[in-house]
Amino acid sequence: MTVSNSFTQLLCGPQQTSSESCEIASTLHYFRGVIASQINDLSWVFAQDPSRISRYAPFLARAILELGATALIARLDPTRILFVKRTQQQPSYTADRSWKTAIRWTGDVIAEKTSGAIWDKSNPEQMTRALLGDYYASLYWQPALERLADAQISGDSEWLTGLRALTVEAFIGSRRGNLIALYSQSSKAIHHEYVFPTGMIDRDTSIVLILAVLKVLTEFAVLLNLLPHVPYRLDSAMVFSSIREIEGYEVGK
């Protein structure tokens, strides 16, 4: 199995058809194809000259990061994705304006730590639904980490060993910081924030950036597939073989 297949099936579940009989399956099918194309494009990008790598590698890192996070949201909160889909299907939808229904990095993926006890909130609007919010940590990531700790795993994997050693507080805190940093680093290259050439992201930095994106998304995808209610989840053996496949991937080779 290729790295793109292992990565996309962890994020999106087993290969689905594009049948409109299930909108979520159709959407995940689309995500799977786009993410696989982005992963496969990495070999072309890293065969180019240094200036092209600096231009295109951060773009692919950011694209994989954003679409991978959106795929995770689709698995955990299908209604959120269907809201976006319905809006985009309307005749009034145009790409030249900002839509409040769109997936937002801040709010849907990242949320600041909630002050006080999270379950003392009386107003549902105060309860965030971000992937890395405190509510998802309590409802989803903590049970998933507990399942991972109890799982019987054969074979070596540094990523799994590191993940199993974390408490939910350490996991959310560190991965929230990781995602913020990865999003910011890739954005600086995409938006041409650098005003001097030596500030550009070089080949080695691009490799580290992409590997970090793949790792953090893989960790969340592994945990997601351990939750029994999540649609299109993989069995444990497939989950653990997939993470080992991705862990051994050599970007730029």
DSSP codes, 150-189: H----S--HHHHHHHT--HHHHHHHHHHHHHHHHHHHHHH
pTM: 0.94
Enumerate residue ranges in the chain where pLDDT < 70. Answer: 1, 16-20, 122, 197-199
Q: How far apart are CA 110 and CA 122, in angstroms?
A: 22
Write down the pLDDT at residue 145: 96
Write down the pLDDT at residue 110: 94
Write down the pLDDT at residue 117: 82
**Which among 173, 219, 244, 232 has a CA at the least distance from the CA of 69?**
219
Task: Tell me how long the chain is.
Answer: 253
Write down the pLDDT at residue 206: 93
pLDDT tens for each residue of 43-63: 999 999 998 998 899 999 999
Write down the pLDDT at residue 18: 58
- Evaluate whether 239 touches 222 at the Cβ level (below 8 Å): yes
